[in-house]
Amino acid sequence: MKSPFAKQVTAQADRHLVREVAKRLDAPARRVFLKHSLSLGSLALLTGCNAETPEAVDKMLTRISRFNDRVQWALFNPNALAPTYPDSMITKPFPFNAYYDQDQVREIDGSTWKLELAGLVADKRPWTLTDLAKLPQIAQTTRHICVEGWSAIGKWGGIPFKTFLEKVGADTTAKYVAFKCGDDYSTSIDMPTALHPQTIMTLTFADRTLPPDYGYPMKVRIPTKLGYKNPKHVMAITVTNTYPGGYWEDQGYNWYGGS
């Protein structure tokens, strides 16, 4: 995450390896091996082992990633619940994670914060924190899984997103729900996931007001998706049929990012 797009130069090492192996083979085998190493070389080109990944390869990988979005969309079972855990298993301290360091966390004033609504929503009136607190609340202890591989258990509480979307008259047949965040982050999810019973507009962490580190004043917690699909400091929600992308997704992370 810290040094994106660093490309590796290993072609020279590959050539050295091919020479070394060729030396140890008898004549007919060596010929076949060297002939074959030509295609090993083209493989190295494909893999981005060379200084530049050819654009065609990047395009192909992006297309496969889009295909994997559709596969995951098909695999998603709206009734399958993410495992829940006893509160005693909450990871302490719960790790901070963002695309910036912890000392750069945005301090957002909850008293002036307003949640904006846009797109295919009937009632676009913005919501204050006080209004949101009046809606029915649930809490769940689930595992947050980061795309990096680590995981941590936390307890998030707030309004079922489905309840909110229905309340504001969102078109729940639309394809996407997009989030704009107070830390210049953004992401978007598919509507079936937005309507999943465990997708929560979070106002609390571990039964206390959501701290700034974890996304004050409001975070959308989605235990069926990887961490980068769980936006913090949410400022605006858009319901749309146009693919919205997101901060990491635009750089190459898989869009669906489902667990």
Partner 1 sequence: MVKNKSSWIKVHPALVRICHWLNAIAIVLMVMSGWQIYNASPIFPFSFPKSITLGGWLGGAIQWHFAAMWILVVNGLVYLVYNIVSGRLRGKFWPIRVRELLHDIGQALRGRLSHADPRHYNAVQKLAYVGVMLVLVGVVASGLAIWKPVQFQPLTNLLGGYDFARVVHFACMSLIVLFVVVHVVMVVLVPKTFITIITGRAKAPAPEAV
Q: Which is nearer to partner 1, 10 or 128 (CB)?
A: 10
- Among 190, 171, 178, smallest CA distance to 70 is for 190
Dihedral angle computed from the Cα positions of residues 183, 249, 237 and 103, in that order, rounded to the nearest 10 degrees: -10
The answer to the question of residue 255 lying near partner 1 (CB under 8 A) is: no
The Cα 181–Cα 140 span in angstroms is 23
Which residue of 70, 89, 100, 150 would you call a contact of partner 1, by CB under 8 A?
150
Give 178's contacts (C-beta < 8 A, 6+ positions apart). Answer: 119, 186, 187, 188, 237, 238, 239, 240, 244, 246
Q: Which amino acid is at 155?
A: K
Which residue of 188, 224, 230, 240 would you call a contact of partner 1, by CB under 8 A?
224
Which residue of 158, 160, 217, 223 would you call a contact of partner 1, by CB under 8 A?
223
Token pair belonging to 97? 């994670």
CB of 130 to partner 1, least distance (A): 33
Query: What backbone torsions phi and psi does residue 30 show, to the nearest 5 degrees?
Result: -65, -45
The answer to the question of residue 15 lying near partner 1 (CB under 8 A) is: no
Q: Which is nearer to partner 1, 66 or 162 (CB)?
A: 66
Q: Show the site string, 170-199: x = touches partner 1 by CB under 8 A, - = not.
A: ------------------------------
CB of 7 to partner 1, least distance (A): 5
**Which residue bears the tokens 């004050």?**
216
Q: SS3 of 55, please? A: helix
Site residues (CB under 8 A) for partner 1, limited to 80-109:
80-83
Judged by the rule CB under 8 A, the positions of this chain that interact with partner 1 are 1, 3-10, 13, 21, 24-26, 28-30, 32-33, 36, 43, 47-49, 53, 60-62, 64-65, 68, 75-77, 80-83, 143, 145-151, 223-224, 248, 251-254, 258-259
